[in-house]
A and B are shown apart, each in its own frame.
Chain A
Amino acid sequence: MALRINHGDTKTRRFIYFLRDIVPSWLSSRFFLWLFPLGFIGLFFFYPLSRILTYSFDLSVLTPENLRLTSSVLLFTLYQAFLSTLLTLIVGLPAAYLFARFDFPGKALLRALTAVPFMLPTVVVAAGFNALLGPRGWLNLGLMNVFGLEVPPVQVVGTLGAILLAHVFYNTTIVIRVVGSALLQLDPRLEAAARTLGADSRRAWWHVTLPLLRPSLLAAGILVFLFDFTSFGVILLLGGPGFATLEVETYIQALQMLNLPLAGLLSAMQLLCTLVFSVLYTRMVAKTRVQVSPRAAQYNLRRARLWREKVFVYGIGLLLVVFFILPMLALPLRSISRLEAARGQRTDVQYGLTTDYYSELFVNRRGSLFYVPPIRAALNSLGYAGLTVIFSLLMGFPAASALARPGKLERWLDPLLILPLGASAVTLGLGFIISFNRPPLRLLASPWLIPLAHTMVALPFVIRTLQPALASIPERLQDAASSLGASPFRAWLTVDWPIIWRASLAAATFAFTVSLGEFGATALLTRPEYPTIPIAIYRFLSQPGGLNYGQAMAMASMLMVLATVGILLIERLRLPGAREF
């Protein structure tokens, strides 16, 4: 046994030596940087997408009627996405500032919890919103009781307001993480210098800090915008039948009306818009490349001392709890409460506590072949999420490194890398079906397709999270390290890595949550042998009965706990070499 370990050890060592020799030359060669990410996106994005778009293309679809439908849906899609992004930035920036500047008790947990909504299945979020804000939700019941009203006073679900609210709820974490990690590493001396030179704090923020944050602000903005732009579940479940985005209309046309040509037109439109926004974004970012000496977090973080700071910390903290934690709390609360009142009785619901829903999860009462043991569902979910983290980091790192020091090639490639986020998931799913259904690419029968599909959605996040951090590394630091005799690998390890490990953790968190939440094309690709938690939740919610509803809430609560613990663990990781300097 000992012998074998020794043997393995030397092998590993030799492998590391090999890597140390080979990796720097790879890193310096653009070709190899691009090989994996481009190959991946080409095979799993551009290929299936072009297959399905050419397959469904039909000139006869260009009737005035269809064009009118497309343009009106497009207008609404843009309108709600702009509004949602604006609101998300307004909510997210103070929150990012809070996490990047202040230490306070419970910070790590609160930070992790703000990421949980991001991966909750929309059915579950809709259930939570309804329990809180619906016509018979707590808010309305409370108001009706207090003021003796006959009709529920607050009508949120089924309005544009519900869509905006849900989008902010989902996506604020993007701003917190992307902008927050940049803010955390900003050199505080710059702001201090401005203050010494007589600028008040507002002026220093406006003229120094904000411009330095522009790349990460833009990155967060485009990610949030594309998520809202391609919104599907939120529009369908919370907006209701009065609203349709391009994605929703594509789904209706493709899967309900079996009208593939019109679905193709709609998704081509969506893709075109995404391309325009991606190009605009990359142009804007190119103008604002900032290199600063990054400072360790400890120089930026402090406890709130002034009363103004305390008001800010507790005010924003409270806001986050009310806005993010309470709606989520509705689920675990419901998963342990039984409704005692007679059905049909319209008021005075009495709650009793129960653990039935959880214990029932572990029983295959009807002997069903498709019964999902909760532990297995959790393990499957975690397995997929772990693979997604690995895949997307493996491909995101080289791409982001190349983008951080862009040449001509990168200026062309950059917008293309964002496209997967803006493509119609339904269309891409159909593209997968016609592209990967025969040898040598008979992948539809392979369970690997799921983490690969997740990786595609996670990759733009990983790249956008890593890129600002990588771009902020001052070249002179690397040059200094090299001139002092450090090998390229050592220079990378001692200069680059300490600066980017935080961003890497944020990127890993995104990949993890994206996978747990099962975004995008996977709905069309689910493999019954490896059911995940979201699949189990859908199964319960698709049948009537209190026990089914309760078990869905119990599963959703499990997913939340799993996500919270996972994110806490990822953020707690102390990676080798990742010391504060």
Chain B
Amino acid sequence: MKRIVFLLLSVAFTLSACVPKGPAELTVMTHDSFAISEEVVQAFEQANNVKVTFLASGDTGAALNKAILTKDAPLADVLYGVDNTFLSRALEAEIFEPYQSPALANIPAAFQLDPENRLLPVDYGDVCINYDKAYFVENDLPVPAALEDLLMPEYNGLLVVENPATSSPGLAFLLATVAHFGEPDYLDFWAALRDNGLVVVNDWETAYYANFSASSGRGPQPMVVSYGSSPPAEVIFAETPLDDAPTASIVGPETCFRQIEFVGILKGTQQRALAEKFVDFMLGQQFQEDMPMQMFVFPVNPDAALPEAFVKYAQTPGQPAQLDPADIAANREQWIAAWTETVLR
């Protein structure tokens, strides 16, 4: 009974107590996939005499929503994880303060999508079709080189994609087809793909682990919409050491969509100077070199060296599909709705 009373008291205490003021604190809101090495974050903390708290807030959409809903009393100083499919929406919500980071000088202009620098690029990744190398060798099938090839009868039933309404790689792949075929022809492509035995699931986990034949789930489809960094991950996280990746990406012209992730300083921060330092740090070499092995994304900073597995097993598309973020913001719902009507109904 004593314990219960103590517990109740401590609940009451926690509920009513204000957060005690200690050394400087910086809160960074991220999506759930964010990861960082202990020593890298410690380096930043020691250099700036600050304690960094990361607030994992769901997937990209959930994290952005959380930031928008709390803009009058922000929960964090910095938000990391808005990608180019959400970029315009995020900027419209007016939750970021511009910051002209000196580190931007080093970063290719192609990644800098916000001219006012409210959102600064951190990393990118290509959403590509991964294929099961062994399947294609065993069955003497050529690997499709372009999106159009997927409509050929020999690939009937071999591709699994994610629903763009529920999955971010699914949406990215839909955007690749929009960019490549244009409106409204992309729908014809999808209708033909559907008639060629396309398999659709709601999330990446199911697509990759339940449907894809080269994953540990050993599913029925030898092609899956995943990331360009998945093949190196298959090697790094192999059950038994592998000397080659079991999968590879199809990197023909405009078969992949490039997702770029951004960081921004949230309006109303009390820690503007520290927040700036953190943004610089995210664009700097140490963090940029840490990212690939932690989050399986590519650094936007060209000075950052890639880990060996990435150099060996990750292919980078020479010509990824691209769309204007404003275009995406304006049409996202309508594209998804039209896709749903074409593929699922």
Please give the residue numbers on chain A whose beta carbons come within 8 Å of chain B beta carbons, in ascending order.
12, 15-16, 19, 55, 123, 126-127, 130-131, 134-136, 152, 157-158, 236-237, 240-242, 251-252, 254-259, 338-339, 342-346, 349, 354, 356, 364, 366-371, 387, 390, 394, 430, 433-434, 437-440, 442-446, 448, 523-524, 526, 528, 538-539, 541-550
Determine whether the beta carbon of A339 is less than 8 Å from that of B218: yes
Determine whether the beta carbon of B66 is less than 8 Å from that of A546: no
Instruction: Please tell me the number of chain B residues within 8 Å of chain A, measured between CB atoms.
Output: 86
Which of B101-109, B132-140, B277-285 forms part of the interface with chain A? B132-140
Nearest chain A residue, comparing its CB with the CB of B135: A344
Q: Which residues of B sit under 8 angstroms from A545, Cβ to Cβ?
A: 216, 233-238
Given A368-B294, A369-B41, A550-B216, check contact A543 B233 (CB 8 Å). yes
Determine whether the beta carbon of A437 is less than 8 Å from that of B75: yes
- Distance to closest chain B CB from A234 (angstroms): 11
- Distance to closest chain B CB from A212 (angstroms): 35
Determine whether the beta carbon of B73 is less than 8 Å from that of A543: no
Given A135-B220, A255-B61, check contact A448 B75 (CB 8 Å). no
- Distance to closest chain B CB from A580 (angstroms): 25
Determine whether the beta carbon of B134 is less than 8 Å from that of A343: yes
Given A241-B344, A544-B215, A545-B237, check contact A390 B69 (CB 8 Å). no
Q: Once bound together, how far apart are the Cα atoms of A242 and B340, in whole Å?
A: 9
Determine whether the beta carbon of A439 is less than 8 Å from that of B33: no
Counted as pairs of residues, one from A and one from B, with CB atoms less than 8 Å apart, the total is: 214
Determine whether the beta carbon of A258 is less than 8 Å from that of B238: no
Determine whether the beta carbon of A368 is less than 8 Å from that of B38: yes
Q: Does B262 contact A (CB under 8 A)?
A: no
Nearest chain B residue, comparing its CB with the CB of A441: B15
Q: Does B19 contact A (CB under 8 A)?
A: yes
Q: Once bound together, how far apart are the Cα atoms of A430 and B62, in whole Å?
A: 9
Which of B142-150, B200-208, B298-306, B319-327 forms part of the interface with chain A? B200-208
Q: Does B185 contact A (CB under 8 A)?
A: no
Determine whether the beta carbon of A367 is less than 8 Å from that of B70: no
Q: Once bound together, how far apart are the Cα atoms of A523 and B65, in whole Å?
A: 13
Partner of B69, one of A123, A433, A445: A433
Determine whether the beta carbon of A547 is less than 8 Å from that of B210: no
Determine whether the beta carbon of B66 is less than 8 Å from that of A433: yes
Q: Which residues of B sit under 8 angstroms from A443, Cβ to Cβ?
A: 15
Q: Which residues of B sit under 8 angstroms from A241, Cβ to Cβ?
A: 163, 165-166, 200-202, 344
Partner of A390, one of B4, B32, B41, B214: B4
Partner of B202, one of A236, A343, A539: A236
Q: Which residues of A sit under 8 angstroms from B39, Cβ to Cβ?
A: 367
Q: Does B114 contact A (CB under 8 A)?
A: no
Q: Does B21 contact A (CB under 8 A)?
A: no
Determine whether the beta carbon of B4 is less than 8 Å from that of A394: yes
Q: Which residues of B sit under 8 angstroms from A338, Cβ to Cβ?
A: 239-240
Instruction: Pick the 3 closest A-B CB pairs, nearest first.
Output: A344-B134, A545-B237, A546-B239
Partner of A257, one of B16, B222, B333: B333
Nearest chain A residue, comparing its CB with the CB of B222: A344
**Best-surrounded residue of A158, A437, A448 (most CB of chain B within 10 A):** A437
Determine whether the beta carbon of A255 is less than 8 Å from that of B237: no
